[in-house]
């Protein structure tokens, strides 16, 4: 390693902890910021995040703190790994301590309700002097921290920033690819959460592998159709942050959104499911925002409409499936290289 950097990771959840541990293993000076004093003390004393990743030891040099100013002071790079509902407030607090030119990377896969604002856009608004990037991909924290092979994407128009993050995170089990389509990479990470709920629901119903494969493929079509309407590159959705992340979250019980959908398919109440989960399932909130945006932009998204009808309009699953099967039959592939 050529350069030892001072890094702050804001958010003491599973993903923030996992990437903080990678960078500590790579020899960087890493501090994890969280709000819970007891949890910070546990991490420092036991070198484990008992609340989120209890079975995995952390690098002994990784430290935790509840003091934001001390955590980010003189940092070279800050990763923001807090829930989308907290992102703006954390960014506003961060503004007071962050020198202009600091690299700030968003890892949060969510959307703010006002004006359909993505997390990198929140950071741009609140941290005008920062160099912003987005990290997204099929990245289950438990597999990352268990050192199972994983790929991710760093998106930015700043080539030096991409190279820096690739060098910081690259390891024998964690590979980092680059992209210049910040909006497309981030949007893919947010939208796939909705389809993961749908896939979990379908799995609980035992609808068959033919149907599951059709569901995932049409999910990708809907995601890219909406994203292109908003200005993203459709080819981005053929990469890790698009189809890669979609496959992972639509097929694994490690996905919180998949688990929400599965329990919906078992007939459980959504509010109770979310309460029992104990963690944020971003897809529940994203569904509302995506339905409103697709209606406003007149983007054809039958799967989103169907899931919305099941969750919020209390239509039966059988009724919605029947409607979907006899809906307009679009072409299979909408975006093709001529």
Which residues, other chains included, contact 309 with Cβ-Cβ below 8 Å and sequence gap of 6+? 315, 320
What is the chain's length? 338
Whether 235 and 336 have beta carbons less than 8 Å apart is answered as no
Concerning whether 338 is annotated as a catalytic residue, the answer is no
Cα separation, 184 vs 167, whole angstroms: 23
CA angle 188, 163, 146 (to 5 degrees): 65
Q: Which one from 192, 291, 314, 315 is the annotated catalytic residue?
A: 192
Residue 15, token pair as written in the block = 């993903």
Chain-centroid distance of CA 83 in Å reads 9
3-16 CB burial, b ≥16 within 10 A, e <16: eebebbbbbbbbbb
CA dist 20 and 113 (Å) reads 29
* The two three-digit tokens of residue 62, written as one number: 């990784």
- In the DSSP assignment, the letter for residue 49 is B
Q: Regarding beta strands 174-179 and 150-155, do their DSSP bridges make them parallel or antiparallel, or are they unpaired?
A: parallel
The Cα–Cα gap between 62 and 137 comes to 24
DSSP 255-314: -HHHHHHHHHHTT--HHHHHHHH-S--HHHHHHHHHHHHHHHHT---HHHHHHHHHHTS-
Instruction: List active site positions.
Output: 192
């Amino acid at each position: 390693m050529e350069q030892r950097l001072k890094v702050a990771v804001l958010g003491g959840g599973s993903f923030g902890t996992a990437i903080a541990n990678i960078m500590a293993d790579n020899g960087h000076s890493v501090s994890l910021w969280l709000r819970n004093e007891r949890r910070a003390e546990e991490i420092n004393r036991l070198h484990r995040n008992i609340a989120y990743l209890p079975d995995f030891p952390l690098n002994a040099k990784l430290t935790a703190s509840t003091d934001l100013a001390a955590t980010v002071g003189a940092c070279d790079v800050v990763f923001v790994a807090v829930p989308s509902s907290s992102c703006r407030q954390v960014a506003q607090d961060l503004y007071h301590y962050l020198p202009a030119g600091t690299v700030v990377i968003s890892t949060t896969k969510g959307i703010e309700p006002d004006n359909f604002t993505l997390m990198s856009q929140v950071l741009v608004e609140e941290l005008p002097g920062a160099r912003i990037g987005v990290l997204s991909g099929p990245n289950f924290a438990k597999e990352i921290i268990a050192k199972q092979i994983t790929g991710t994407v760093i998106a930015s128009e700043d080539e030096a920033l991409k190279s820096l993050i690739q060098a910081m995170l690259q390891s024998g089990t964690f590979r980092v690819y680059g992209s210049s389509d910040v909006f497309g990479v981030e949007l893919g990470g947010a939208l796939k959460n909705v389809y993961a709920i749908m896939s979990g629901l379908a799995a609980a119903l035992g609808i068959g592998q033919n149907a599951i494969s059709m569901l995932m493929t049409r999910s990708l079509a809907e995601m890219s159709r909406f994203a292109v309407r908003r200005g993203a590159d459709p080819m981005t959705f053929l990469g890790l942050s698009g189809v890669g992340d979609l496959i992972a979250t639509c097929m694994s019980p490690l996905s919180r959104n998949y688990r929400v959908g599965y329990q919906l398919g078992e007939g459980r109440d959504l509010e109770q499911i979310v309460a029992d989960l104990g963690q944020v399932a971003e897809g529940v909130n994203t569904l509302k925002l995506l339905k409103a945006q697709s209606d406003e932009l007149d983007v054809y998204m039958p799967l989103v409409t169907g899931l919305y009808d099941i969750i919020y309009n209390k239509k039966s699953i059988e009724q919605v499936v029947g409607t979907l099967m006899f809906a307009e039959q679009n072409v299979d592939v909408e975006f093709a290289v001529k």
